[in-house]
Structure 1
Amino acid sequence: MRRFTRALVATVLTASVVAGTAGWASATSQRPVTGMPVGTAEWRAEGLPDPARLTPAQAGAYFASLTPARQRELAAAHPTVVGNLDGAPLALRYAANARSAGGRFAGQQLLAYDPRGRGQAVLVYGDLARAAHVAVIVPGSDIDAGNLAPLTRKATALREATGGRTAVIAWAGYTTPVGVGLDAAGGELAEAGADRLARFAEGLAAVGAAAPSVFCHSYGSVVCGLAARRIDATDLVVLGSPGMRADRAADLGTGARVWAAKDPTDWIDRVPYVTLAGLGHGTDPAAPEFGARRIDAADARGHDGYFAPGTSSLRAFAAIAEGAAR
């Protein structure tokens, strides 16, 4: 009976999405990439501290105990470990990831790079170490190391809207759903992503970066909802959200201000805001009963238009990122 109920719910949710997206959907199942990066066994074999047992703060303390020459030596010998070790020095991680990515992101600040699966990458725009304000953008479906353009456009638009004053992080640091289907209706990928996002946020604090405002698009808002209580953020902003796996903003357990945007042409509004048999993500964060602060998105267009230059939503995002919104 449970299997039948789950299948029925999946059929209803997927049919709703197909109707709202002109027939585009995918049943491709994704396995979340988890655990320590490639090269960890070789790192451990040298008697170096086990990355799986280090908190970001401990990783930062370990590198602080080394000479600059030894730090560079480890980054050169073990780039996939150092480049993905939250809490390690920023410049060291940029150098390590440039090496392990083989020039794929030449000239960019690559804070994390994991080639496993479809690939994950985290890009930084601005001076993360010195910026007074930091923003993190968490994407939804179809974003990976091979398809970063939709995410990087959002990141550069937000940075430009703040006059270049805010350091913006394009965080493609989890396995996203492909298309809109059962994975997007379920929570498995979001749960794995939430763990990675929470650790990433700890890493930002460990290197002394400013507490971030976190912008969560589409399925990324499910990730943010599950991670909310573990992230020291100033603001949590969801846009085009299918739900956050919470009935109310107060249930997220975060001290951050919670904001929501949904434009009138976004197909996400046709997705049922329910949770049943493990599928669906609950209350619409843009609904009054959820209790989030509303962001005007009336002039945004479609599911992916919230960061378009000149829109009210982008202006509001910039004000939030700079700590100027009330």
Structure 2
Amino acid sequence: MRRYKRTMAAVALATTVISGTAGWASGSAQEPVTGPPPGSAAWQREGLPDPAATTPAQVARFFSTLGPDRQQDLVRRHPTVVGNLDGAPVKLRYAANSRTAKAGGFEDLARPGRQILALDPRGRGQVAEVYGDLSRAEHVAVVVPGSDIDARTFDRTNDAYGTPAGMAKSLRDATKGHRTAVIAWAGYTTPVGVGVDAATGDLAEAGADRLARLTRGLDATGAPDPALFCHSYGSVVCGLAAPRLDAADVVALGSPGMRADTVADLRTNARVWAAKDPSDWIDRIPNVRFAGLGHGTDPTDPAFGARRVPASDADGHTGYFAPGTESLRTFASITVGASR
């Protein structure tokens, strides 16, 4: 009987994905952007460290041996490598990515004052931005978004708290009085719509590698262990990255599942939290894994074992970071360590 129920739930999931019912929409297949940063071949021809094989800690040590003039020379001649190299000094990355943004037609990302930590123009474009002073922060958070986010939609204005930029800004505002930096990280190829890509783990697998490297890069540059806020499909990325994350907290919100049955299955030393509001359409998605479809147990299920974040006053799938909500207040508390 139990197997029958799981099979029927999987059939329901497959039907949901194909037909677009229960709040899911059709989506187009995406090829994940993987591998070292663009421009790596020219970089390596000069005998510089292989971006694919060099750890963030080794990257940090390499840059520490260079004088200011040599560092700026690498920024000028290899901006797409320096700008995406976890472990490199963050101010060098900002300068390099400003160059890439101007050259690549991402004018908004090139505006003065923006701190672009990563910008990979391949595919739909991947981007990460820092809010606050990362080099002096006492607390760091990383926002990991779900579907339909790329370099062009990163900070769209029609869904204020449904974009990584909007979520990061709101979270940092909620931690005022603390030296906090928040990274809006759209550093992986996200699903488009909520179709088969969103119901499978391929894009999340590729994203998990990049997310784990980001956290190791933060550690290599002396930043404190971050709290990760993983929204929707982003929680699948965080779940798959969990054993390799250098993080203090992992928060799944509006999650379809983390590819794990329990917190123990995540094999992480980070504290694990979960939030879901009653009006979130994600609640209508079957929490199963079958024949490659689905992401498993709802992280807010008591049997999963995550700490519960109150979210009853959040609205819909993208309301968790709205000012005045109990979920945002709790997120801010987690970020600054007050919930420990």
TM range (shorter): over 0.9
Residue 91 of structure 1 corresponds to 91
C-alpha distance in structure 1 between counterparts of 2:134 and 2:18, whole Å? 42
Q: Which runs of 4+ in 1 moved over 4 A?
A: 7-10
Secondary structure class of the residue paired with 2:313: coil
In the alignment, structure 2 segments of 5+ residues that lack a partner are: 1-7, 156-162
Checking the alignment, whether the CA contact within 8 Å between 2:14 and 2:293 is kept in structure 1 is: no
Match of 2:14 among 11, 23, 27: 11
2:338 match: secondary structure: coil
CA, structure 1 residues 201+34, in 2 after alignment: closer, same or farther (shift >3 Å)? same
Partner of 2:4: none
C-alpha displacement of 1:139: 0.1
2:301 alignment partner AA:
A
1:146 matched to which residue of 2? 152
SS of equivalent residue, structure 1 residue 112: strand
Shift of 1:38: 1.5
Cα distance between partner residues in 1 of 2:230 and 2:173: 18
Are residues 1:116 and 2:114 paired?
Answer: no
Alignment partners' CA distance in 2, 1:248 and 1:11: 23
Cα deviation digits, residues 16-51 of structure 1 (max 9, x gap): 8x3332xx5123000000011211111111222211
Distance (Å, rounded) in 1 between the aligned partners of 2:36 and 2:295 = 28
**Using a 3 Å threshold, how does the CA distance of structure 1 residues 324 and 317 change in structure 2: closer, same or farther?**
same
Cα separation, 1, equivalents of 2:66 and 2:92: 12
Q: Are 2:300 and 2:306, in contact at CA under 8 Å, matched by a contact in 1?
A: yes
Question: 2:171 is matched with which residue?
Answer: 158
TM-score (norm 1): 0.95
Contact 2:187 2:207 in 1 (8 A): yes
Of 169-178 and 38-47, deviating more is 38-47
Partner secondary structure for residue 151 of structure 2: coil
Does the aligned pair in 2 maintain the 1:261–1:296 contact within 8 Å? yes
- Return closer, same or farther for 1:143/1:97 CA change in 2, 3 Å cut-off: same
Shift of 1:13: 3.6
Shift of 1:240: 0.3
TM normalised by structure 2 equals: 0.91
Task: Structure 1: give runs of 5+ residues left out of the alignment.
Answer: none
Paired position in structure 2 for 1:261:
275
Partner residue of 1:313? 327
The AA in structure 1 aligned to 2:58 is: Q
8 Å CA contact 2:26, 2:193 repeated in 1: yes
Equivalent residue number for residue 34 of structure 2: 34
Is the Cα contact below 8 Å between 1:126 and 1:164 reproduced in 2?
A: no
Q: AA paired with 1:222? A: V
* Residues 171 and 328 in structure 2, CA contact (< 8 A), matched pair in contact too: yes
Residues in 2 aligned to 1:27 and 1:256: alpha-carbon distance in whole angstroms: 33
